[in-house]
Structure 1
Amino acid sequence: MGYISPDGLANLKKYAYKGVDKSLLSRYVLNPFWTWLVTLWPTWVAPNVITLSGLCMVLLNFAMLIYYDPEYLSEKGGADGPPHWVYFTWAAGLFIYQSFDAIDGKQARRTGMAGPLGEMFDHGCDALNTTLEVILTGRALNLSRSWWTVASQSAALANFYLTTWEEYHTGQLYLAVFSGPVEGILLIVGLYVVSGILGPTFWDTPALTFTGLEKIPFITKYVPNKGLNEFIMAFGAVVLAFNIITSYINVYKAKIASGDKAFQPLWHLLPFPLTVAIQVAWLSSPSFSRSFILNSPLFVPLLCSWGLQFAHQVGRMILAHVTKQPFPWWDWMWMWSLIGAVDANMPRLLNRAPFIQHSPENVKIFIFATLAISLVSYVRFCALVINDITNYLGIACFTVRKKDESGAWKKAQIVDKANVGKRQ
């Protein structure tokens, strides 16, 4: 069963990318670099190959965490972290990811391959990268397996969900003065570099002590002298609040301009806090001991399964945008985590042992089963959507080819070179 209705397939041909980038850093610093960088790629390289290459850099970073810091995924939790030089590779890998993510749209216009498939593929890779960077950043900031990392995951996914929700209701992608894909990524790159130089324990330094503000009684009276890493989390909360406000303002203006109900889109925000509540309930379940999963090697697999489910959720939202289909309220992939959360909370709900997760070994089996099912389901979603779009539009996903009227493959015509410098 496919994800696109016949009417949705017909709407693919009406799709046209629209975007607004208000980032001064992007406009005056990064865009000239990206414009030059895309010229290094031959025109026979498909845009999606560039996108996938960027994601592979992030996957390599994650693999290096597993290889060089195996204790992080063990019972010990890894107090020391990976060798400091690993953080420099994370910084380089993430910067390459950002660069490739920025030029895939330019390559699409160079090769005449711009279209809805590119946006689907781009957002899918971005969604996967979000969770992976949360895990890596939490390690670099010495937050490790903690509620701070869970809060970081929730905030990062919330920002992504907001952007997708906003694009669905306005018809265009907004990048604010401070946005995740530009300033946010560069901030994380900087954090990796500092961790590489000073080590992740540096971020435990009390912020007021580090800045010298602890000598000012008025400040110490009202501001707690917490670690730098916790202040970074607080900064992330401020950015999230700012993005919530600006996203809704954009949606409100778009709905008023089109004569639609301005407050109805707010209902489409509800699925996200519901999914966060499910995951937090599972993580905080009272089985064996409070936060058993949080303090065990199962923490990372659970975050990864959460990220895959989220990628499926926002993938369907982007698909609804490009095909002009109804907003996807419900995602069946939530069911598995909902079962896990309810079962693990049986001691709290019914004062009895869980039906499934009644032993540490069963918890492990169930979480890894959740991860496997989430991965297979998301891969299936990607395969079906790519197959439907490529077949209907007569294009290839990873080669610069199109079908002519007879159905024979031909090279796509190189077009729109004048606009290669514009960001997709």
Structure 2
Amino acid sequence: MTDQNLWYSPDAKKEAPRWACGLCGFGLFVYQSLDAIDGKQARRTGTANPLGELFDHGCDSISTVFVALSACIAVQLGYYPGWMFFQCFCAMTLFYCAHWQTYVSGTLRFGRIDVTEAQYTIMAILLLSTIFGPSIWSTKIPGLDMEVKLIPIGVACAVALLLAQANVSIIFTGGVGKNGSTVAGTSVLSPVIPFSMVLVPAFIIYQKSPQHVYEEHPALYILAFGLVAAKVTNRLVVAHMTKSEMDYMDWSLLGPTMLFLNQYFNTFVKEHYILWLCMLWVVVDLLRYCYQICTEICEYLRVELFRIPYPGGPQRFFPAVVTVPTEKNGKSEKKIHLSDGEDVVPLLQNEEHS
């Protein structure tokens, strides 16, 4: 449903219809509600397994991009391209850091103010845009030379700093592996490299573009790089589930590389065309990766992807499955992960399927 906002305001400057903002907010509410109860439903039906967790976090990694974009469009943040870039990539970075600290500590932690509260805040923003129209956020604050939209931006920055500090403190405290390493026995700083290969090129291409490709097409630009970040995050989730080392290179990085090389050779081709080509490549590569991962996990665990076993039928046995703790507001819970034994999905440790 977020696509409605992207369709009517791809530059985040045009005023999206109120009904589009309302539909987007309703879709986010439904998504958040289902995301909160999927674990209970899986345990109730006896289908809790690593595939479900990969689906959960995989969908979250993609929705993070769309939700951040929808919030920016709802307040017409395209008039502040730098802030829009910061807000969207900050959301992707925080999501990646949450799984980075999980890879280090072995425990997925949620604070008192975290992703759920952020989603409800965005719902409130979309609701206000539905009632009063997106232009309400461009109203000047009496006595101050600033627009109303800068208030949620400032609050978001403050919360982001607090969340980042919490994740970084856990990462630098040391991991649960040997000599303070990650669950895979690797350096606690190793996951910073794959994500830096997404974030740094995105910023450089944005700053150096002679044709202002980001300012002219911000939604497309953020979508392209956001899906690359989503795939890298999914690979980090898989690395944690299998307790294996995470590769630095990824085929999805070929898309940003095309943009970088085109700039290096004095924009031989219009950057807008290369950006669309990058987007197409990233989508195809992400779909291919998801299909291969899900197929091999299903074959290994002997489960079906979108079907629930008939009640009373033979019980499924999931080898190489263990429970790993999670924390929400200091309360311990359990999550299902693949174990670190010899029985792991072949694809997940095969470097050529990055």
Q: What TM bracket, shorter-length normalisation?
A: 0.7 to 0.9
Greater relative contact order (Cα < 8 A, sep 6+): 1
Q: Distance in 2 between matches of 1:391 and 1:136?
A: 37
Q: Which residue of 1 aligns with 2:295?
A: 387
SS of the residue aligned with 1:401? coil
Q: Which residue of 2 aligns with 1:65?
A: 5
Cα distance change, pair 400–190 in 1 and its aligned pair in 2 (3 A):
same
- CA shift, 1:78, in A, is 7.3
Q: Deviations over 1:243-270 (max 9, x none)?
A: 1221133334562796415994134224
Cα distance change, pair 127–395 in 1 and its aligned pair in 2 (3 A):
same
Matched, 1:283 2:203: no
Show the 5 A alignment for 1:128-143: 128-143=62-77
Normalised by the length of structure 2, the TM-score is 0.80
Q: Which runs of 5+ in 1 are unaligned?
A: 1-59, 215-223, 347-352, 403-408, 414-421
Asked if 1 retains the 8 angstrom alpha-carbon contact of 2:198 and 2:228, the reply is: no
Q: Which amino acid aligns with 2:253?
A: W
Asked if 2 retains the 8 angstrom alpha-carbon contact of 1:120 and 1:319, the reply is: yes
Q: Tell me the matched-pair count.
A: 314
* Aligned alpha-carbon RMSD (Å): 2.6
Q: Distance in 2 between matches of 1:150 and 1:252?
A: 27
Asked if 1 retains the 8 angstrom alpha-carbon contact of 2:139 and 2:148, the reply is: yes
Q: Deviations over 1:189-234 (max 9, x none)?
A: 0000111122212222345x3xxxx4xxxxxxxxx74323223222
Asked if 1 retains the 8 angstrom alpha-carbon contact of 2:69 and 2:219, the reply is: yes
Matched, 1:120 2:54: yes
Q: Which residue of 1 aligns with 2:246?
A: 327
Q: Which residue of 1 aligns with 2:306?
A: 398
Q: Distance in 2 between matches of 1:240 and 1:273?
A: 18
Q: Which amino acid aligns with 1:365?
A: Y
SS of the residue aligned with 1:174? strand
Q: Which residue of 1 aligns with 2:125?
A: 191
SS of the residue aligned with 2:189? helix
Q: Which amino acid aligns with 2:256?
A: S
Aligned counterpart in structure 2 of residue 170 of structure 1, from 71, 92, 105: 105
- CA shift, 1:138, in A, is 0.8
Q: Distance in 2 between matches of 1:293 and 1:337?
A: 13
Cα distance change, pair 273–205 in 1 and its aligned pair in 2 (3 A):
farther
Q: Distance in 2 between matches of 1:130 and 1:330?
A: 23
Matched, 1:99 2:18: no
Q: Which residue of 2 aligns with 1:147?
A: 82
Q: Distance in 1 between matches of 2:93 and 2:85?
A: 12
Is the radius of gyration larger for structure 1 or structure 2?
A: 1
Q: Which amino acid aligns with 2:103?
A: Y
Cα distance change, pair 143–423 in 1 and its aligned pair in 2 (3 A):
farther
- CA shift, 1:423, in A, is 8.4
Deviates more, 1:273-282 or 1:135-144: 273-282
Q: Which residue of 2 aligns with 1:85?
A: 19
